[in-house]
Amino acid sequence: MVSAPATPTPTPSEDTDASPRLGSRRLQDVVIAIEAMNKWYGAFHVLRDISLQVHRGERIVLCGPSGSGKSTLIRCINRLEEHQSGRIVVDGVELTNDVRHVEQIRREVGMVFQHFNLFPHLTVLENCVLAPIWVRKEPRRVAEERAMRLLERVKIPEQASKYPGQLSGGQQQRVAIARSLCMQPKIMLFDEPTSALDPEMIKEVLDTMISLAEEGMTMVCVTHEMGFAKTVADRVIFMDQGQIVEENDPHTFFTNPVNDRTRLFLSQILHH
Ligand SMILES: Nc1ncnc2c1ncn2[C@@H]1O[C@H](COP(=O)(O)OP(=O)(O)OP(=O)(O)O)[C@@H](O)[C@H]1O
């Protein structure tokens, strides 16, 4: 049975002064709506009653201690992991077992992983055009032109004919970002994209993410880069033991955390 696309909670569409704001910007429609979602790994209750709404163009940073469920949560958003109860609606499509919905979501939601996940036996350009050609059935020329534009945007067009193993970690991660963008996603998920990088390469990847944010991409980022959270995020969400414990704008989150667990976490990472 095909379930009807669900409608996320509506938000004001008219651009009136009364519409809610996101910093200096106006809140737009909800693109990710998670309602009372739970997930178990066997008997282990890994995500507990998660409710979260992400608006178009919003930049969310998810943080929290190791094992708190951050990766699992963002992997549920593109159905790399299944949830067992509650609802996840992405751009008006509810995530169910219906493969058509899953395919649609995978096309609209790009994901960048800690360990790049590039195909080592394919060149940078081939990595970038693989999904557009095979999933979106694009002509090779169209896919390659877009891939080259995106490799220019992440500032490594000269690496197009190299293999991933010939690049630095920072360059490989920028290829991974360009590869995701080749599918023209509406939402980008980042799972600790800088954690596997040497310190001197972290900045180049963060700069790429910052420029994406400036262009209005909707982003959900799991990261320990609190400088990025402070300057780029519209909202910082703190998770612990599978729950969203606290969320706020970055200024309030970092200067006036309410929950004891948030305070403890911040004191540990900010003084590290
Ligand atoms: N496939 C799996 N099967 C069983 N347990 C899992 C699986 N994947 C993750 N877990 C467990 O679920 C919990 C949450 O893991 P998750 O990777 O989502 O946490 P995290 O907050 O992203 O942690 P980290 O910051 O260390 O990456 C952990 O206790 C982890 O061991």
Q: Is residue 15 part of a domain?
A: no
**Closest CA to ligand 1's atom 26:** 66
- Nearest atom within ligand 1 for CA of residue 64: 21
Using the mean position of ligand 1's atoms as its centre, give its distance from the Cα of residue 193 in Å.
Answer: 16
Please report whether residue 48 resides in a domain: yes
- Structurally, the chain folds into a number of domains equal to 1
The range of the structural domain enclosing residue 179 comes to 30-270
Is residue 255 within 8 Å of residue 267, measured between CB atoms? no
* Residue 35 within any structural domain of the chain: yes
Specify if 74 maps to a domain. Answer: yes
Residue 135 lies in a domain: yes
- 5 CB under 6 A from ligand 1? no
Is 66 near ligand 1, meaning CB less than 6 Å away?
yes
16 occurs within a structural domain: no
Instruction: Answer for the pair 132, 143: CB distance below 8 angstroms, yes or no.
Output: yes
* 135-159 core/surface letters (b: 16 or more CB in 10 A; e: else): eeebeeeebbebbbebbebbebbeb
Q: Is the CB of 223 under 6 A from ligand 1?
A: no
Distance 71 CA to ligand 1 centre (A): 7
User: How remote is the CA of residue 149 from the centroid of ligand 1, in Å?
Assistant: 36
Buried-state track 4-13, b at ≥16 Cβ within 10 A, e below 16: eebebeeeee
For residue 96, give Cα distances in angstroms to 50, 69, 78, 211, 222: 17, 21, 11, 33, 24
In a domain, 110, yes or no: yes
**Ligand 1 atom having least distance to the Cα of 239:** 21
Q: How far is the CA of 69 from the centre of ligand 1 (A)?
A: 6
ipTM above 0.95, yes or no: yes
Rounded distance, CA 45 to CA 38, Å? 8
Reported pTM: 0.89
**Tens-digit pLDDT string for the chain (272 aa):** 444 444 444 444 444 555 556 666 666 799 999 999 999 999 999 999 999 999 999 999 999 999 999 999 999 999 999 999 999 999 999 998 888 888 888 889 999 999 999 999 999 999 999 999 998 899 999 999 999 999 999 999 999 999 999 999 999 999 999 999 999 999 999 999 999 998 888 999 999 999 999 999 999 999 999 999 999 999 999 999 999 999 999 999 999 999 999 999 999 887 66
> Does any domain span residue 25?
no
Domain CATH number, residue 218? 3.40.50.300
